Structure 1
Amino acid sequence: MSYQLKTKAQSESGAAKGSAAVTSTVASVIADVRERGDAAVREYSQKFDNWSPSDFRLTQEQVEEIVAGVPAQVLDDIRAVQNNVRAFAEHQLNSIREFEVETMPGVFLGQKHLPVTAVGAYVPGGRYPLLASAHMTVLTAKVAGVSRVTACTPPIRGEIPGATVAAMHFAGADEILLLGGVQAVAALAVGTETIKPVDMLAGPGNAYVAEAKRQLFGEVGIDLFAGPTEILVIADHTADPFLVAVDLLSQAEHGPDSPAILITTSESLGQAVLGHIDRLLPGMPTKDFAGPAWRDHGQIHVVEDLDAAWPLADAFAAEHVEVLTANPRQALSAMHNYGALFLGEGTCVSYGDKVIGTNHTLPTRGAARYTGGLWVGKFLRTVTYQEVTSEESSAALGELCGRAARAEFFEGHARSGDIRLARHTGSLPGWAAAAIHA
């Protein structure tokens, strides 16, 4: 038994048209930046952000001046949060093992982890100065060993976002550009006269930034395809409905297209959550975003028991999953598809977004079925190497290679194996003898 107390209200009829318009706009901007470089970047920055300084890149002196103007408490908080993010990223780095193993006498196979050389970290502005994104992108890349991180953020209503600049600076950004939107992402990817291209793009953004990353993927690497923020709460009868309501709305305020979903084993809790949300929304400073998100994308599902809740939650494969049950750690074995789990009433998605130390750049729109979120390993390339020092082992591999390659009709591959076998046996294969004596 399962049923919905609240269903998703919005029709998707306009989504395709909107998506097509975004795709076309982004493609034209990227093409223009590719063709005209700095001139195109400057025109789009003026058009979209009313921002056209003599140089988009901040000097060290400018950075220091901006940081000095940020309240001391904000700077202390940035440092405290970055300590948490750095510590967790370092633990992740230490969990990735390099190795070399001798698989046969004289056959050595190894694995190394090489950091990406240059990363472009996009830190959104727009509605909110998302300085936490600087921690998650810039700092994590630097922990991984990336040698050059160029961080971009747009001005907000014509003003320099001082706290965001401070966060990027403290995180270790090697360059800071006051530049936003598709023009920033395109410039980072393809390069201009004054902006060096990077090898990888990271960081969230609006629909246009996300589409730009999608179109540029392949030419550069990206962290992941990001959509609207999502929250899914699993709650049983022990949960506090007021807390559930607050947490659902905490993510709905990201934007009018952010899904907020409750799966509960208690109809009375679901009804109570509905009532609390109805009372909370009118007084929220961010109701213009949270209200439409809840109206159009909010859902409440009532299920018979937790055995029914886990597979339903897995089907959503949500970005953030809060588990507010009597035994929240059960989710660690019961669930398989999620970006991040938040277990018990002592934590919440907002902690993950802002302060706790795990990375908040996570898969959305069902992508948790096949990928995790941004982590230190995303900035590393796992490479292998091989060395064969034993002639006997090389001969054995050569004989095997000859047979395996000819089974696939790859004669050239087979001959590479033949020659190494011949060096050991002293007997040239017929094709080699004929070529030598021709």
Structure 2
Amino acid sequence: MSVVLKAAARAKEGDEPAAPGGGATAPGSHGGAAAAATGDGVAAVVAGIVRDVRQRGDAAVRELSARFDRWAPESFRLTEEQIVACLAQVDEQALADLRWCQEQVRAFALAQRATLGDLEVETQPGVRLGHRHVPIERVGAYVPGGRYPMLASAAMSIVTAKAAGVDHVIACTPPLDGAPPAITVAAMHVAGADEILVLGGVQAIAAMAVGTETVAKVDFLAGPGNSYVAEAKRQLFGEVGIDLFAGPTEILVIADDGADPEIVAADLLGQAEHGPTSPAVLISTSERVARATLAEIDRQLETLPTADVAGPAWRDFGAVHVVGGDEEAAALADDYAYEHVEILTADPRWYLERLRNYGALFLGEGTTVAYGDKAIGTNHVLPTAGAARYTGGLWVGKYLKTVTYQECDPEASVRIGEICARQCRQERFEGHARSCDVRVRKYADALTGARQP
């Protein structure tokens, strides 16, 4: 039986548009002079920007960037010299850390790719069916600006695309204080981006999706952003593929009586600081640990530099449940279907075998969501808002198209054609049936002639 020690003060539905990744809530990457809109207002603003970029191309992109980001360089695309200049501004330790973190992502993505073999099988004599995993040709990767530089986003979108075999990756990021953000440019370059554009917000998403005079259209968009960027991806889905529809970051921790309340509290607040609508939930089989965690959260908020964000998120969207055992905890966690689920129990792998609905699972005290966000190698672009019930997150397979093929020899075509023609006529598709009949006649006659002495 579940006891709720703390309930969320607000429901996620109907709140102001979230800012995944900590970005601002205006259509430009930082906000500029635009006022934040909500609900249908976001959709209308985004639709107008996309329409403008579609109709006027580069001219619209330049005007929008000047309006929202006060940024209108001669070219948004960085030259090799400009990229080198950005790299020179980043200290060696930061570059070394970038390379190390990206190598973890690359190693895991390549290992995942190695599990995806092509297939060919003879399903009956003379019939060969198969599939191949074909990389997408052109990908647009968006690396947001705003409250914090999202360096890890470059690794998650660009490194993974390259591991999948994507030919060409265009990477966009907004300017910072009227200049290219050196550390973010470095992250995109080290990750393997083929082109880097200092361009943010909906105008960047639209330019990559529909194409302009100087920005070639991509086939797929990846990367997080504010509510306007997320809405732009939603509206353009179908014209291009996208990684997923992202909402506020979520964390759920399952803790037993042996869990350390200090660690539980730190992990909950570590995700709550993403934004003021980021939910954080504790499910515990121990009332003692649950109450100690509540007290520890209050203590840690007193010194947390991001308490202005994490505090409201915890107040409005935090929840604590005390349950009767592991089975009840697992069932409740699956109902939440959260993006990140941490297991701080004596037997974390028990949950690995039982949980079904989550974006990423963190087993035991030795790991934490922050590792997954930044450094350990699994991808941090994950389903939110209950989408973990039906999909996983971004991974090397998202950049691959699994396409099938078939091949028949004449004798097999006769066998299949006779059956298929009858099935087509049951469905009243005479044209389909005749495409079968012509093969049956041609190959049956040839086979009969071949068999005659």
Indicate yes or no: 2:327 matched with 1:279.
no
Match of 1:190 in 2: 210
Q: Distance in 2 between matches of 1:328 and 1:157?
A: 45
Q: 1:129 aligns with which of 149, 170, 173?
A: 149
Deviation at 1:401, TM superposition (A): 0.6
Displacement after TM superposition at 1:103 (Å): 1.5
The aligned residue for residue 428 of structure 2 is 409
Matched, 1:60 2:92: no
Alignment partner of 1:340 out of 360, 369, 373? 360
Asked if structure 1 preserves the Cα contact closer than 8 Å seen for 2:10 and 2:316, the reply is yes
Following superposition, the deviation at residue 159 of structure 1 comes to 3.8
Instruction: Give the partner amino acid of 1:317.
Output: A
Q: How far, CA to CA, are the matches of 2:361 and 2:206 in structure 1?
A: 33
Match 1:306 to one of 323, 326, 331: 326
Give SS of 1:18's match. coil
**Offset at residue 334 of structure 1 (A):** 1.1
**Where do residues 56-135 of structure 1 align in structure 2 (5 Å cutoff)?**
56-135=76-155
Mapped to 2, the partners of 1:363 and 1:350 lie a distance apart of 16
User: What is the distance in 1 between the residues matched to 2:198 and 2:308?
Assistant: 27
**SS at structure 2 position matched to 1:381:** strand
Give the 3 Å change call, closer, same or farther, for CA 295–61 of structure 1 in structure 2.
same
Task: Say whether 1:9 aligns with 2:9.
Answer: yes
- 283-292 vs 85-94, greater mean Cα deviation: 283-292
With normalisation by structure 2, the TM-score equals 0.92
User: Amino acid of the residue matched to residue 8 of structure 1?
Assistant: A
Q: Secondary structure at the match of 2:238?
A: coil
Gaps of 5+ in 2: 18-36, 447-453
Match of 2:39, SS state, is helix
**Stretch moving more, 218-227 or 150-159:** 150-159
Shift of 1:120: 0.2
Residues 147 and 233 of structure 1: is their aligned pair in 2 closer, same or farther, counting only changes over 3 Å? Answer: same
CA distance in 2, matches of 1:361, 1:165: 20
CA-based RMSD = 1.3
Do the aligned partners of residues 169 and 13 (structure 1) sit closer, same or farther apart at CA in structure 2, a change above 3 Å counting?
closer
CA distance in 2, matches of 1:282, 1:52: 41
Amino acid at match of 2:239: E
Greater Cα offset, 405-414 or 242-251: 405-414
Counterpart of 1:245 in structure 2 is: 265
Of residues 189-198 and 153-162 in structure 1, the stretch that sits farther from structure 2 once superposed is 153-162
Partner deviation per Cα, 1:155-208 (whole Å, 9 max, x = no partner): 123342211111110111000000111010000000111111100000111111
Q: Distance in 2 between matches of 1:150 and 1:240?
A: 44
**Aligned residue for 2:451?**
none
**Alignment partner, residue 411 of structure 2:** 392
SS where residue 275 of structure 2 aligns? coil
What one-letter code is carried by the residue in structure 2 that aligns with 1:303? V
Of 227, 230, 254 in structure 2, the residue corresponding to residue 207 of structure 1 is 227
Q: In structure 1, list runs of 5 or more residues that go unmatched.
A: 428-438
Alpha-carbon distance in structure 2 between the residues aligned to 1:323 and 1:3: 19
Q: Spell out the pairing of 1:298-377 with structure 2 (5 A cutoff).
A: 298-377=318-397
Distance 1:310 1:19 in 2: 33
* Residue aligning to 1:431: none
1:4 maps to amino acid: V
Determine if contact 2:411/2:444 at 8 Å carries over to the other structure: no
Q: Which amino acid aligns with 1:417?
A: C
- Equivalent position SS for 1:255: coil
* Distance in 1 (alpha carbons) for counterparts of 2:148 and 2:306: 11
Using the TM superposition, give the Cα deviation of residue 258 of structure 1 relative to its aligned residue in structure 2, in angstroms: 0.5
Q: Per-residue CA shift, 1:306-333, capped at 9, x if unaligned? A: 1100010001100000000010011111
The residue number in structure 1 matching 2:21 is: none
Give the Cα separation in 2 of the matches to 1:362 and 1:187.
Answer: 25
Partner residue of 1:225 out of 241, 245, 250: 245
The residue that corresponds to 1:435 in the other structure is: none
1:407 and 1:159 map into 2 onto residues whose CA distance is: 66
Q: Out of 20-29 and 88-97, give the one that drifted further.
A: 20-29
- Distance in 2 of aligned mates of 1:53 and 1:141: 28
Q: How far off its partner does 1:14 sit?
A: 4.9
Q: How many residues end up aligned between the 2 structures?
A: 426
1:426 is paired with a residue whose SS is: helix
Distance 1:173 1:14, change over 3 A: closer
Q: Take 1:330 and 1:337, find their aligned partners in 2: how far apart are those partners?
A: 15
Larger mean CA deviation between 145-154 and 12-21 belongs to 12-21
Q: Distance in 2 between matches of 1:149 and 1:9?
A: 42
Cα distance, 1:418 vs structure 2: 1.2
Residue 20 of structure 1 deviates from its aligned partner by: 1.3
Whole-angstrom CA distance in 1 between matches of 2:348 and 2:15:
39
What's the offset of the Cα at 1:422? 1.2
User: Which residue number corresponds to residue 256 of structure 1?
Assistant: 276
Q: Distance in 2 between matches of 1:415 and 1:144?
A: 41
Output the CA distance in 1 between the equivalents of 2:357 and 2:371: 20
SS at match of 1:283: coil
SS at match of 1:272: helix
Partner of 2:58: 38
User: How big is each residue's C-alpha offset from its partner over 1:335-392, in whole Å with a ceiling of 9 and x where there is no partner?
Assistant: 0000000000000000000000000000000000000000001000011111112x21
Output the TM-score relative to the length of structure 1: 0.95
How far 1:52 sits from its partner (Å)?
Answer: 1.3
